[in-house]
Every structure is written in C-alpha cells, then in structure tokens.
Structure 1
C-alpha cells in the first residue's frame, strides 16, 4: 500500500457560527449535533469521509493503494484556476500551485485529521488563495473555522476521470528540471508497483497491481458492507466467487467505510485479459445483490469464512 497513514489528533473546530449554535447538525454528515461531533474537541474519526459522492470509490483507491494517478476535480463551481487531484505529490504535500496557476491536491499526505474529506477541502481553499509556485506541506493537524468538506464543493454526481501513470514524470512541469528534482522523481519511480485500471461493462474502481511476487485485483465497492458480504457469500456458496481460471479470492480490506475485495491473479496474464472476467463477475454480483431472501445455512457458513479474511486499514 502506498498511502501515508500517519494519525494526528484533531483540534477543536472554532467557528463563530458553530459556537453560536452548537445544536445544529454537524457538517460532516454524521447525523450528530455539531456539539457532539466535530465541535466536541476530541479525536473525531469520520469512518466514511467521502460518502454521498459518486467519486467515492476512486477517492478511496487514490488514498490507499494507487501509486501515481491524476484526475480533474469535478468542482460544483469552477474557479479561475484548474484543479486536479493526485495520489501523492512531491514531499507528500497536501497541495501545490504550479507556476501557471494549476492546483494539484494530494490524497496521500504527511499529516491528516480524522476527516479526510475536510482535509482535502481545506487544502483546496488554501491553494485557491496561494501564490503560483507555492507548496502546502501539511493540512493540519486540526481544522479551524467552519468545517467545509468535499461534499460541499464537488459535483456529487460526477465520477473521476482518472488517469493512471507508470511513473512520476508529471511531477516535473518543465523540460529542464533541476538535478535534485530529477533525482527525487527517480527515487519515487523505483518504488512504484505496476498498476492498471480494469475495464469492462459494469466494472469501475477495479485495479490490477503487480507487487513483484503476485498480481492482484483490488476492487473498491460502493455498497453497504452487510449487503455486499451477503452477496459475496451467496456467490461463494455457489462456487462462483472466483474471476475464472488463474484467479483466487484472497479476502477484503475495509478502507474509509468501503469494502475492497481482493483476488490473487495469474501474473503471466496481462491486466487487460481480466476485463471480461471482471465484467462477467460484476453481472453475477449485481444479481446476488438483488436477492432479498435470508441466507441459507451454506451461505451463512460462507459468510463467516469470508469475514475471517477481512482487515481494516487505519
């Protein structure tokens, strides 16, 4: 995994409006009152920070395991400067503003609060006011003032037009970079694991990665965990959990409120060869998700076995 997962304490949000009306709903979307959530002054962890955004699965992938990727950020109200979101920026910065004014926001950062959505929105606000050529090394710890989140500034129905790069050459904005910048890029390139998006009908946020010893398919799913686990259990009990010959279901991990099933794959097969099998599996999974009857005894047993193969990323 390439995500930089350093945990920092969140300081109390100190906005005048929030202080005047502590009974208002918290803007993080938790459903709690502000006073009992982000206004509490404690370590507040938003377990599903990108909920409600169509881009949620891609944002989770960019935060957790995609090495080098970029996408235009679908703002609800476009500003004067173009904005792109990236997996990681030089120095794991939260944001930088290029000399031409373009804003880049980083998902994998040095320091974070308990609300990734608010962190990225805060970095965006800083970058929109920063001078060209400025880098913002960290977001926090702590969010001051009124809490603004990605849900407040993005087009909620827009998915990310994600481009995965084989290296970090895009870090360099000109043709003749300084030697130290070139060396930084070369060091970063050495730790990249080959990664590609898996295409196919009904296939989204599914990524092939070669770790050097194994190849995997990591598929960020947007469904509620209970519904997804029940569907996977039905497929497992029916012997249909694999993606075809050369694949094996390895387990799943939770990341930012979503479940990410993982399959081991035959390293001799090219990433593009998994598009059709993934599309076929997507159809079967949709059918299993539509079933509303109780699990059978065999399916319950399969669900228990699958639950034993899950981990949670912190």
Structure 2
C-alpha cells in the first residue's frame, strides 16, 4: 500500500508553474483543479495574456491594483479599460457610446482573455447604454489579443473610483454614497515609471511593492535567490523580499517596505535592482548550497492566485 501511494504521489508531480490536480482550481470556483478546469473538457489557460506587450501590467491591474484605467484602441469605438466597475459589472456601454471594460469580474470560464474578448464584442455590438456581461461559457472565438492593438497602453492609477462618474454631470446622493463606500476600501497605490509593471501600495500598517515579472519562473527564482543570498535584494533600507505569488502564468515578487517610504523613493532603487537582477539572470554558475536553500525558502512562500 505504501509503495503504491508513493508511486501515485510521484505521478502527480507537476511542472513548475502548473496547477496540481488536487490544488484549488485557479478559476476561483472552490473546486479541486481535477474536478473543474483540469477535467476532461476543461479550458483553463495558464498564461492567458501571453503575446500582449502589456501583459505584466494587465496581470497587475487584474489582480491587485484597486483603481486604474487605460484607453484602448478598438476599431472606431472608444474603449476604457478599468480595473473595477460599479457592481463589478464586466462592461458598461455609457450614454456617450463609450465602452468601459472591467478586468476584475466575478465570472471565470477558464480563459480570461477569451472572456474579456467575448464581453467586449457584446458591448461593441450595441449602442444601447447599460451593463454587458456573460452568463455562460462564451465558446470558441477571438481572444483579447485578437481585438486590441499590441502597442503599450497608458495606465492611470487613481486615488479612488471617482472615474466611475467622469461622464455623469448630475450626481445624486445614492451615487455619491456608493462612490464613498468604494473609495474607503481602496488602498492608495502608484505605478512606478522607471520599470515595468511595479506597483507600490499603502496597506495601512505596511507598504508593499508588487512587481509583475516576464521572466520564466525557474530562472527568475534562481536570480532572486542569488540576490537575496548576497544581500542585494533590498530596494531601500529596511525593505525585504517577503515572498511571491503566481498569477496568470507570471510570477510577482513582493517586498515589504518601511512605513512612509512612498512610491517616489522607489523609482531609482527599482531601476538599480532591475539591473542587478538582469546580471543574476545572466549568470550560468550553479547555485551555491546557500543559494539553493534561499531558493527553496522562496519557493515555499509562493502561492498561486490564478
């Protein structure tokens, strides 16, 4: 019996970055992966936004940035990409005809890129103001990569959700109250300008930097292990890498920062760290015993969000 169990356990080992059959499905259903999108006919896509020039930022906006927007060029219609919309709506067609498309939504059918594209197509097909969304699996069709340009997007991180009412000249008490409630739950955040897809957040008792990286996971963790072991992973005095998480196929290292650091103080240090990491990634030397121990510790702190 013990031998059979060990064999079964070996058979269930998954590639780094993959989801194990007994792990929670990344779609958020609460089921095990093997009983959800890992089952026969499942459609879970590990890296749904691969190929987009702004893939790391898209992952950040979808997973941990509270309030941000970016304009998208989609044919002759104006589309405003948003982190979150009122009532967690997947999309809204505004009175002006402008389409607002949300990244943070309740539904998930296994391929967020296809889900977003399906919602966007529905919104673009109507001029009738209102909420647009999905109630069922959208089925085969274009993905977000097929509908939007690959040029870099201009991201604006907002202090709150005031942008929800940008095109509403007359605001009633209910609108204002809903906005104030949403703003109270949004942690202050900023996107660094010297590096790609790095977001500072003030979480109250602590500040954090979450940095979505493009590198393959194994190489990235090796590089981080080299820097952490050498004492070169801090961004500012008192900061440290506390872990990382995996989202949509990319790895996101997380730093704890001293209270009062702010985003501006991270611009130069983040650019310098990026250069140190590039050098660490370029190294072909085997990891030392201490670096392997650090790597194992980092890997043990990693979680998969989606």
Partner of 2:78: 82
TM-score normalised according to structure 1 size: 0.82
Given candidates 247, 265, 271, the residue that maps to 1:279 is: 271
Residue in 1 aligned with 2:192?
198
Q: Aligned residue for 1:135?
A: 131
Distance 1:42 1:281, change over 3 A: same
* Divergent runs of 4+, >3 A: 5-9
- Does structure 2 conserve the Cα–Cα contact (< 8 Å) formed by 1:6 and 1:111? no
Q: 2:162 matched to which residue of 1?
A: 169
Work out whether 1:91 is the aligned partner of 2:87: yes
Could you list the runs of 5+ residues in structure 2 that have no partner in the other structure?
1-26, 32-36
Deviations 1:120-179 (CA, angstroms, capped at 9, x unpaired): 11111001012242211x3243013x32101212223x2221100101111112221232
Give the deviation of 1:298 after TM superposition. 2.4
Structure 1 runs not aligned, ≥5 long: 10-37
2:282 aligned with 1:290: yes
The reply on whether 1:160 has 2:156 as its aligned counterpart is no
Q: Which moved more, 1:127-136 or 1:214-223?
A: 127-136
Alignment partners' CA distance in 2, 1:151 and 1:63:
16
Counterpart secondary structure, 1:91? helix
| CA distance in structure 1 between the aligned counterparts of 2:135 and 2:128, rounded to whole angstroms | 21
CA RMSD of aligned residues (A): 1.9
Query: Equivalent residue for 2:42?
Result: 43
**Distance in 2 between residues matched to 1:251 and 1:290, nearest whole Å:** 22
Counterpart in the other structure of 2:12: none
Count how many residue pairs are aligned between Structure 1 and Structure 2: 273
TM-score, normalised relative to structure 2? 0.84
CA contact (8 A) 2:236 2:266 kept: no
Provide the residue aligned with 2:228 in structure 1: 236
- State the alpha-carbon separation in 2 of the partners of residues 6 and 290 from structure 1: 36
Aligned twin of 1:7: 29
